[in-house]
Amino acid sequence: MNKRNALKSAIALAIALQAGLVLAQDKPLKIGVTAGPHAQIFEQVKKIAEKDGLKIQIVEFSDYIQPNAALASGDLDANSYQHKPFLDLQVKDRGYKIVSIGYTVNFPIGLYSKKVKSLGELKQGARFGIPNDPTNGGRVLLLLQEKGLIKLKPEAGLKATPLDVIDNPKKIKFVELEAAQLPRSLDDLDASAVNTNFALSAGLNPKDAIAQESSKSPYANLLAVREADKDKPWVAKLLKAYHSEEIRKFIQTEFKGSVQAAF
């Protein structure tokens, strides 16, 4: 191959690579969310991000496990649905190379019932639904301890399970279910804890909860990406769109206090 042909080949390769890069940039970012507020908020984030050149495809999930699995495998570019204790546990247990890039919203978890109007009305042996994932299950048990219904081992911490209950005067029976199933459990159980995103999706009003977690908790939700992507320009643009004043106002107006901005 002479120099002229070599130069032509090099130019052709450069053009091809550049075209491929453009195509890659034109491909929408896939963002995983759970149905309800996370999805609603990201519909607004999508509009703002588009003004900054980001194209977004929102992918909805009905559970808490798949969005991290999909992100780790490369099927998603980011997800928005979980709090830090949950992500930390997933990283520890599954070895995911996933990191937080910033906080999003806080959902104070609520306790709901169709049979009693207060925790004090729960009868002996009441059946109580809690999320079956360790961090949210522990979160509910800590709330019940705060309300005086049970006592946990001092060392249990955020990962408390029913096995850590050392005092249970009402002999409450804990029924562990997928978080998304808990709203439907209210017909069969005496009470259930329900994460606010699933409560809203099921038509429950957080104001009707018989007890609710304080808004000042370690369970603020976050935006997560693969560790290898955290310094890419699109990540900063995505976070900027989410942390905009437009999104803050949307959260305040749309959810009227049941969902709170954590940024």
200-237 pLDDT, tens per residue?
889 999 989 999 988 677 889 999 999 999 999 999 99
- Give the pLDDT score at 107: 87
Does residue 17 have a pLDDT over 80?
no
The SS3 call for residue 217 is coil
Average pLDDT on 120-130 reads: 97
Hey, how many other C-beta atoms are within 10 angstroms of the C-beta on 144?
24
Q: For 46, how many CA atoms within 13 A lie in the half-sphere containing its CB?
A: 19
Beta strands 173-177 and 191-194, pairing class? unpaired
Average pLDDT on 6-11 reads: 48
Domain boundaries, the chain: 3-107+219-261, 110-212
pLDDT band with cut points at 50, 70 and 90 for residue 197: confident
Contacts 24+ apart (CB under 8 A), 168-174: 170/122, 170/123, 170/124, 170/125, 170/126, 171/124, 171/125, 172/122, 172/125, 172/126, 172/127, 172/128, 172/144, 173/125, 173/126, 173/127, 173/128, 174/128, 174/129, 174/130
For residue 34 the two structure tokens come to 């759970």
- Give the DSSP H/E element, type plus range, for residue 200: helix 196-201
Q: What is the pTM of this model?
A: 0.74
Instruction: Give the model confidence (pLDDT) of 23-52 as tens digits.
Output: 344 799 999 999 999 999 999 999 999 999
- Overall fold of domain 3-107+219-261: D-Maltodextrin-Binding Protein; domain 2 (3.40.190)
What is the homologous superfamily of the domain 110-212 according to CATH? Periplasmic binding protein-like II (3.40.190.10)
Q: CA-to-CA distance for 191 and 129, rounded, in angstroms? A: 6
Q: CA-to-CA distance for 93 and 72, rounded, in angstroms? A: 13
